[in-house]
Amino acid sequence: MNNPIIIAIDAMGGDNSPDKVIEGISLHSKLSQDVFYKIFGNKNIIFPFIKKHKIPEERYNIFHTDEIVHGEDSPLSAAKRGKKTSLWLAVESLKKNDADAIVSAGNTGALFLISKLNLKMIENIDKPALSALWPSKQGMNVVLDLGANIECSSKNLLDFSIMGSALLKALFEDIDAKVALLNIGSEEIKGNAMIKDTYKLLIENKYSLFEFKGYIEGNHIMDGDVNVIVADGFTGNIALKTAEGTSNFIIAELKKALSSNITGKFSSLLNFNNLKKFKNKLDPRLYNGAILLGLDKPVIKSHGSTDAIGFANSLKVCEKTIRGNLINRIKENIG
């Protein structure tokens, strides 16, 4: 491979790892030929899954360590476990410029703390933000912050608007970024002082990277009129968990209705293609891969409970952030 993208992977984090991680790598590798995987974890456990999923040896290296960060570890205790855990070594490879990005399905708090200890912040950005993709009627939204910062200033939300727009453009080059602030109403008088100050800053300062569209309420997030939705981490995390819970409820109830009697089963057969499209629209695995924005290298968090398909999608998001020159886009527009 000529100048491949190099992705560092913490193979030991998350449920059913490293099996799902290695299978996810296998799925992704079949679609992306010029990506090389640096896999960190216990070689004796990992290698049988490499053989099982038939990953060509020229596509990966395994960096052995017996040490791992556990899901129940606090961020501080995870960092204190030392510099030989699979998570720390994977992040450290970015610091040494031995990899272009990292993906982990492990402990979220530990990933963020270890990343912040090893990697630099982009100049003029005060706080990192956790962002993710949400489906809408028109395609995809970037939503941030989803929990990295409970308290934010208007300057932070301004930075989030720039970083979220840069991410959207990195992932979807041909789509224009349209930013909105998540608020309790669409009128200018609604919201707290911080939201109002951010609104004023975005109105007064025009950015070539995005168009500011004002406020948006939670029930309009998926309408598709805007595609970069900005909030503080407290508000954004509640919105995320509410959306995930609602999606799971709808899918579960629909399955129950379509399998509870003969009529339901017959109806599901007649509408198989439409039901499949509906399920895919709400399938969280297809939007897996949250990005910690603000650091000088891409840090991607895969959901801990996702399966191999979900992990492969987090690798796809990771690859697109690198190909889309995400970090440089942020640097060019910040400050």
d(CA 140, CA 131): 13
Contact 39, 61 (CB under 8 A): yes
In sequence order, what are the residues at sequence separation of 6 or more whose Cβ sits closer than 8 angstroms to the Cβ of residue 162? 207, 209, 210, 330, 333, 334
Of the chain, the percentage scoring pLDDT greater than 90 comes to 67
* pLDDT computed for residue 188 by the predictor: 78
d(CA 241, CA 252): 16
Contact 157, 194 (CB under 8 A): yes
DSSP, residue by residue, 94-143: HHTTS-SEEEE-S-HHHHHHHHHHHSPBPTT--S-EEEEEEEETTEEEEE
Same domain, 255 and 322: no
Same domain, 184 and 259: yes
pLDDT tens digit string along 86-139?
A: 999 999 999 999 999 999 999 999 999 999 999 999 999 999 999 999 888 888
* pLDDT computed for residue 245 by the predictor: 82
R_g of the chain, CA atoms, integer Å? 20
Same domain, 95 and 144: no
* pLDDT computed for residue 287 by the predictor: 79
DSSP code of residue 65: -
Domains in the chain, number: 2
Same domain, 263 and 309: no
pLDDT tens digit string along 27-48?
A: 999 999 899 999 999 999 999 9
Domain with 58, as residue range(s), is: 1-125+294-335
Mean pLDDT is lowest, of 57-61, 184-188, 195-199, 211-215, for: 184-188
